[in-house]
Amino acid sequence: MGEHTRQVMYSREEIAARVAELGREISEYYKDKQCVMVGVLNGVIVFYADLLRSMSFCPEVDFVRVKSYGAKDTPDEIVTFTKDVEVDIQGKDLLLVEDIVDSGQTIDFLRRIFLERGPRSVKICALLDKTGRRRVDVPVDFYGFRLEDGFVIGYGLDFAEDYRHLKDIEEIVKF
């Protein structure tokens, strides 16, 4: 992997404080509910673990993995599961946890599929709510940070499967 010019966008201290705050918000919201917390692999792993540890209740946990693909000359993506949830979500409150909501297509696909399975509710939590390239208007109910644009890495976010290990969230400012 070649070197890139990077700068810290959110420090590990800022991330830890915001994740703790999110954990309190989510705990308050779900305090009397039967919550299933579903993480979208792979980028969510670091955020998901920290968020789970910051909560004052214990939700059921599970993960999904999806693959997106499409023609280069069209904005449409086809999204398919490569790993589906294993827990029953019918009648339960579902919290979908993503590392970043960018175009909105993947999380909208998941939200629509899961709504068909009869949960009591579906809410979306994202570490980063990136609005500049949004193609699908999806409700991000809980978010860590909102940004307009930028290519970000670290804290689970990758560039070609590299940089997930970084403790800060950094922006690549020059490739």
Q: Are 43 and 164 in contact (CB under 8 A)?
A: yes
* AA letter at 117: R
Burial of 168 (0-12, 13-18, 19+ CB in 10 A): middle
Active site annotation includes 76: no
DSSP state of 33: S
**In which element (H, E) is residue 22 found?**
helix 12-29
Handedness of CA 163, 39, 69, 173 (dihedral sign): negative
DSSP state of 152: E
Tokens of residue 45, six digits: 């792993």
Q: Please name the residues in contact with 87: beta carbons below 8 A apart, sequence gap of 6 or more.
A: 36, 60, 62
In whole angstroms, give the CA distance from residue 164 to residue 46.
Answer: 9
Q: Looking at 50, 99, 102, 108, which residue is catalytic? A: 102
Q: Which residues are catalytic?
A: 102
